C-alpha cells in the first residue's frame, strides 16, 4: 500500500514551548536517533542532500558511504538479517531511488525489516519530468508493506516513526519514505513521540485457541508428521520454542533455505533442507507425510515442486502471521494466524494435553526416515578435471570458522552448496536471497552483517558471476574498516544456468562462460582486482592450499580478505528435483556420493 503521509498519519499536535524548530532534514536525522538507529547505509545526491548536512554532525548515527545504492539496500538487509533489527538505507531521487528497487524487492520476498528513505524533487516540480524525478512511491508500491510520500516538514517525524512501526511488526518487510526537497529544507516544530495512527493496519499476533487445540490433536494422532520450518521462525526469534516442540512431539524437522539455522543441524530430529536441492530424507519426508505442520513457511514452488502433486496424503496445519499466506498454495486443514513464537508455546502445551503424557507412536516413521538418511547421505566425488571440488571448499570454510560465524551467500550453485555443506547451529547465521534470487547480494549483505555484528567472523560466499555485480563495495569495506572475508567459488561460468543447460539443453552452454577462472587469461583477475581495492587477496588452485588460505583469512582482521578458489565447472548441485514435477521424482546422483560405488 502507499499514501501521501498527510492522509495516513494525523498532523502533529500543536507546538509546545518545549518543541524545537528543526528543518525537515534535521527532523529525519533526529527521528532516526530517537528510534535507536545507530547505522545507516547510503549515497548522497541532489534531492537528499539536505539530510546529509545534519547527518555529518550527528554522532549517534554512523553513515556508511556505499559505492552503489543497491549495495546500500543489500547492506541494510544483511544488517537486519543478522540481528533482527531494522536496516536503514538512504538514496537520492530518480536513479538513486530506482537503484534501491532490487534490494527492496528482495527484502519484500524474504520478509526483511527495512526502511528506505529517499529524496524527491520539489513538490512544485512533481509531475513535470523534472531532473532526476521518478515516481518511486508508485514504482515500489507492489514490493513494500507501505510507501509514504512526505511533502511537509512537520509530517516527517510521524512518517519515519510509522515506517519503523510497519517494517518491524506483523510480517516484517520494507517500507519506503519519499521526502520532497522542500519538505527537507522547510522548518517546523519537532514533536516527539509523534502520534501514529495507521487505519487498517492491525497485525494479528495472538492465535485462536480452538485452532491451537485442533492442531495439537492432529499432532498427537499423526503417524508420519513433519515440522516444515520456514524463515518466519527466524524472523519471530522462535528457534528455542521450535526445539521445545520438536523434543516434545518427537517429530522430524526440515528447514527451508530461508530457515537454515532455525533448528540446529546437530539435532537428531533434523532431516536437512527440503526442496529442489534439498536432502532426500527431507524431500521425501514432506512428500510422504500424513501431517505437515508448516511454521512461518509459504509453500514456495522450490519446496513443493509441482504443487498439485505435493504431499498428497498429508493434512496441513499452517501457522503464519500473514493471513494472505494461509491456503494460498496449499489448503490448510487447520489455519492458524499469529506470531509463530507465541503459537509454538501454546501448541507445545496443548500437545502435551492432547497426548495425555504419551509419546506418539512414530517409530516406524523414524525407521523409514533413518533408512533414507543412511542410503542417501549428502556427499560429493572428487573432480575429474584436477580442479577443486567446490563442495569441499565450502565445507572447510564452515568447519574452520564454526557455528558462531555468519555466512552470506550469493545466488546459484555456491548458494546451494553453502546451504548444504555448512552446519548451522543458530539462527541469523545464514543470510541469502531466497525469494528473489538476487545475484550480487553476498558482498554488501556481508558488509552490513559485519557492521551489525563486528565481533563475529562474516563470510561472503560468492560466485564469480555474483561477485562481479557488487564487488565495488569492497572499497566501502576497506575505507570503513569492515573486515569481511570473501570466498569466490570461481568455476568461470554462470554455474547454475550451466548445470541446467547440461541437464536439460543437451549440454549447449549458451553464453554462460565468464572466462574468470581457468588458464592465464582471467578477465578479470580477481586477485589483482581485490589488491587494487586494498584487500588481502589469495588464489587457491590445489586442495592442499585450501585450509591454509582459510586459516590466513580467519587470522586477518585489519582489512577484507578475498580468496579466489578456482573450482571445477563440471560440479553439480545434487540432489535435485527438476522443475515442474513431483517431489517423488527427486534425482540423487549416486556417483556424487562417496558412500556408493557407481555400479551400485
| Residue 384, in any domain of the structure | no
Specify whether 15 is located in the same domain as 100.
yes
Name the β-bridge partners of 513: 493
Give catalytic status of residue 190 as yes or no. no
| Residue 203, in any domain of the structure | no
Q: Which pLDDT tens digit goes with each residue over 111-121? A: 999 999 999 99
Specify whether 213 is located in the same domain as 267.
yes
Residue of 258, 447, 469, 496 marked catalytic: 496
The region of weakest confidence among 292-306, 429-443, 534-548, 578-592 is: 578-592
pLDDT band at 594 (very low <50, low <70, confident <90, very high): very low
3-class DSSP assignment, residue 30: helix
Q: Answer with the residue of higher pLDDT: 427 or 382.
A: 427
Q: Which pLDDT tens digit goes with each residue over 141-151? A: 999 999 999 99
Residue of 131, 331, 504, 505 marked catalytic: 131
| Residue 487, in any domain of the structure | yes
pLDDT band at 5 (very low <50, low <70, confident <90, very high): very low
Specify whether 257 is located in the same domain as 317.
yes
Q: Which pLDDT tens digit goes with each residue over 171-211? A: 999 999 999 999 999 999 999 999 998 988 999 889 999 99
Q: Answer with the residue of higher pLDDT: 305 or 588.
A: 305
Specify whether 450 is located in the same domain as 561.
yes
Interval 508-519 mean pLDDT: 87
Residue 484 pLDDT greater than 50, yes or no: yes
Quote the number of domains for the chain.
Answer: 3
Residue 588 pLDDT greater than 80, yes or no: no
Quote the CA–CA distance of 184 and 187 in Å, as a whole number.
Answer: 8
Give catalytic status of residue 306 as yes or no. no
| Residue 583, in any domain of the structure | no
Specify whether 339 is located in the same domain as 407.
no
pLDDT band at 262 (very low <50, low <70, confident <90, very high): very high
State residue 596's pLDDT score: 29
Specify whether 26 is located in the same domain as 119.
yes
- Closest by CA to 337, choosing from 353, 350, 318, is 318
Residue of 181, 315, 450, 485 marked catalytic: 181
Specify whether 158 is located in the same domain as 241.
no
Residue 530 pLDDT greater than 50, yes or no: yes
Specify whether 494 is located in the same domain as 564.
yes
State residue 16's pLDDT score: 52
Interval 317-329 mean pLDDT: 97
Specify whether 342 is located in the same domain as 467.
no
| Residue 43, in any domain of the structure | yes
State residue 589's pLDDT score: 57
pLDDT band at 551 (very low <50, low <70, confident <90, very high): very high
Specify whether 220 is located in the same domain as 143.
no
- Owning domain of residue 245: 209-375
| Residue 598, in any domain of the structure | no
- Positive or negative: CA dihedral 250, 251, 257, 259: negative
The region of weakest confidence among 97-101, 198-202, 224-228, 547-551 is: 198-202
Quote the CA–CA distance of 261 and 250 in Å, as a whole number.
Answer: 19
Residue 164: left (phi > 0), alpha (psi -120 to 50), or beta? alpha
Specify whether 572 is located in the same domain as 436.
yes
- In this structure, the dihedral spanned by the alpha carbons of residues 183, 80, 413 and 288, taken in order and rounded to 10 degrees, is -120
State residue 9's pLDDT score: 41
| Residue 68, in any domain of the structure | yes
Q: Which pLDDT tens digit goes with each residue over 9-43? A: 434 444 455 789 999 999 999 999 999 999 999 99
Q: Please, which residues have CB within 8 angstroms of residue 448's CB and are 6 or more apart in sequence? A: 41, 74, 75, 76, 77, 78, 79, 80, 82, 87
Among 375, 408, 428, the domain boundary falls at: 375
Give catalytic status of residue 596 as yes or no. no
Specify whether 432 is located in the same domain as 337.
no
State residue 519's pLDDT score: 63
Quote the CA–CA distance of 466 and 442 in Å, as a whole number.
Answer: 8
Among 351, 375, 399, the domain boundary falls at: 375
State residue 597's pLDDT score: 32
Q: pLDDT exceeding 90 applies to what percent of the chain?
A: 86
| Residue 590, in any domain of the structure | no
- In this structure, the dihedral spanned by the alpha carbons of residues 320, 321, 323 and 327, taken in order and rounded to 10 degrees, is -10
Residue of 49, 122, 126, 132 marked catalytic: 132
Give catalytic status of residue 185 as yes or no. no
Residue 222 pLDDT greater than 50, yes or no: yes
Please provide the size of the chain in residues: 600
pLDDT band at 580 (very low <50, low <70, confident <90, very high): confident
Residue of 26, 69, 501, 576 marked catalytic: 69
Quote the CA–CA distance of 445 and 459 in Å, as a whole number.
Answer: 10
State residue 574's pLDDT score: 87
Interval 39-60 mean pLDDT: 97
Question: Are 257 and 302 within 8 A, CB to CB?
Answer: yes
DSSP letter (8 states) at residue 198: -
- Closest by CA to 74, choosing from 341, 360, 450, 391, is 450
pLDDT band at 498 (very low <50, low <70, confident <90, very high): very high
State residue 591's pLDDT score: 38
State residue 586's pLDDT score: 84
pLDDT band at 92 (very low <50, low <70, confident <90, very high): very high
Among 375, 409, 438, the domain boundary falls at: 375
Interval 440-449 mean pLDDT: 98
State residue 592's pLDDT score: 39
Give catalytic status of residue 181 as yes or no. yes
Q: Which pLDDT tens digit goes with each residue over 264-293? A: 999 999 999 999 999 999 999 999 999 999
Interval 498-513 mean pLDDT: 92
- Closest by CA to 166, choosing from 148, 140, 149, is 148
CA dist 109 to 164, 225, 254, 282, Å?
Answer: 18, 28, 20, 23
CATH of the domain at 414: 3.40.50.970
Q: Please, which residues have CB within 8 angstroms of residue 536's CB and are 6 or more apart in sequence? A: 530, 552, 553, 556, 559, 560, 561, 562
Q: Please, which residues have CB within 8 angstroms of residue 279's CB and are 6 or more apart in sequence? A: 271, 272, 273, 376, 378, 420, 575
Amino acid at each position: 500500500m502507499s499514501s501521501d503521509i498527510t492522509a495516513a498519519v494525523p498532523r502533529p499536535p500543536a507546538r509546545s514551548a518545549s518543541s524545537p524548530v528543526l528543518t525537515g532534514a534535521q527532523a529525519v536525522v533526529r527521528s532516526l536517533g530517537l528510534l535507536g538507529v545507530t547505522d545507516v547505509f547510503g549515497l548522497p545526491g541532489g534531492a537528499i542532500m539536505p539530510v546529509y548536512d545534519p547527518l555529518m554532525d550527528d554522532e549517534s548515527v554512523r553513515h556508511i558511504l556505499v559505492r552503489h545504492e543497491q549495495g546500500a539496500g543489500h547492506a541494510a538487509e544483511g544488517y537486519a538479517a543478522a540481528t533482527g533489527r531494522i536496516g536503514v538505507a538512504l538514496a537520492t531521487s530518480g536513479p538513486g531511488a530506482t537503484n534501491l528497487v532490487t534490494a527492496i524487492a528482495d527484502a519484500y520476498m524474504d520478509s526483511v525489516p527495512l526502511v528506505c528513505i529517499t529524496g524527491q524533487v520539489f513538490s512544485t516540480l512533481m509531475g513535470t519530468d523534472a531532473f532526476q524525478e521518478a515516481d518511486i512511491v508508485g514504482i515500489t508500491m507492489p514490493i513494500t508493506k507501505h510507501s509514504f510520500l512526505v511533502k511537509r516538514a512537520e509530517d516527517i517525524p510521524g512518517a519515519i516513526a510509522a515506517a519503523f512501526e510497519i517494517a518491524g511488526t506483523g510480517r516484517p518487510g520494507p517500507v519506503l519514505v519519499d521526502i520532497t526537497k522542500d519538505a527537507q529544507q522547510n522548518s517546523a516544530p519537532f514533536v516527539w513521540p509523534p502520534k501514529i495512527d495507521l487505519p487498517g493496519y492491525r497485525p494479528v499476533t495472538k492465535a485462536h485457541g480452538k485452532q491451537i487445540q485442533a492442531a495439537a490433536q492432529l499432532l498427537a494422532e499423526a503417524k508420519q508428521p513433519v515440522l516444515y520450518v520456514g524463515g518466519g521462525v527466524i524472523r519471530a526469534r522462535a528457534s528455542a520454542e521450535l526445539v521445545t516442540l520438536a523434543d516434545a512431539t518427537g517429530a522430524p524437522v526440515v528447514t527451508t533455505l530461508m530457515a537454515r539455522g532455525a533448528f540446529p543441524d546437530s539435532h537428531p530430529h533434523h532431516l536437512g533442507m527440503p526442496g529442489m536441492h534439498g536432502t532426500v530424507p527431507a524431500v521425501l519426508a514432506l512428500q510422504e507425510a500424513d501431517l505437515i505442520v508448516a511454521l512461518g513457511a509459504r509453500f514456495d514452488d522450490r519446496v513443493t515442486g509441482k504443487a498439485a502433486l505435493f504431499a498428497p496424503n498429508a493434512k496441513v496445519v499452517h501457522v503464519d502471521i500473514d493471513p494472505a499466506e494461509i491456503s494460498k498454495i496449499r489448503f490448510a486443514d487447520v489455519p492458524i494466524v499469529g506470531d509463530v513464537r507465541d503459537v509454538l508455546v501454546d501448541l507445545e502445551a496443548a500437545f502435551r494435553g492432547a497426548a495425555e503424557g504419551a509419546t506418539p507412536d512414530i517409530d516406524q516413521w523414524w525407521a523409514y526416515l533413518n533408512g533414507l538418511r543412511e542410503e542417501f547421505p549428502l556427499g560429493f566425488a572428487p573432480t575429474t578435471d584436477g580442479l577443486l571440488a567446490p563442495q569441499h571448499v565450502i565445507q572447510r570454510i564452515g568447519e574452520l570458522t564454526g557455528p558462531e560465524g555468519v555466512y552470506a551467500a550469493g545466488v546459484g550453485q555456491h548458494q546451494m552448496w553453502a546451504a548444504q555443506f555448512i552446519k548451522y547451529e543458530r539462527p541469523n547465521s545464514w543470510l541469502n536471497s531466497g525469494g528473489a534470487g538476487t545475484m550480487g547480494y553476498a558482498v554488501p549483505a556481508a558488509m552490513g552483517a559485519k557492521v551489525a555484528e563486528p565481533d563475529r567472523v562474516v563470510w561472503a560466499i560468492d560466485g564469480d558471476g555474483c561477485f562481479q555485480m557488487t564487488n565495488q563495495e569492497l572499497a566501502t569495506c576497506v575505507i570503513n574498516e569492515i573486515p569481511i572475508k570473501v570466498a569466490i567459488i570461481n568455476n568461470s561460468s554462470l554455474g547454475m544456468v550451466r548445470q541446467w543447460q547440461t541437464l536439460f539443453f543437451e549440454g549447449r552452454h549458451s553464453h554462460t562462460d565468464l572466462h574468470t577462472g581457468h588458464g592465464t587469461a582471467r578477465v578479470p583477475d580477481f586477485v589483482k582486482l581485490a589488491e587494487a581495492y586494498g584487500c588481502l587477496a589469495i588464489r587457491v588452485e590445489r586442495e592442499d592450499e585450501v585450509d591454509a588460505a582459510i586459516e590466513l583469512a580467519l587470522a586477518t582482521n585489519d582489512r577484507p580478505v578475498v580468496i579466489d578458489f578456482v573450482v571445477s565447472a563440471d560440479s553439480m548441485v545434487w540432489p535435485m528435483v527438476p522443475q515442474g514435477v513431483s517431489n517423488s521424482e527427486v534425482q540423487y546422483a549416486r556417483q556424487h556420493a562417496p558412500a556408493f560405488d557407481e555400479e551400485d
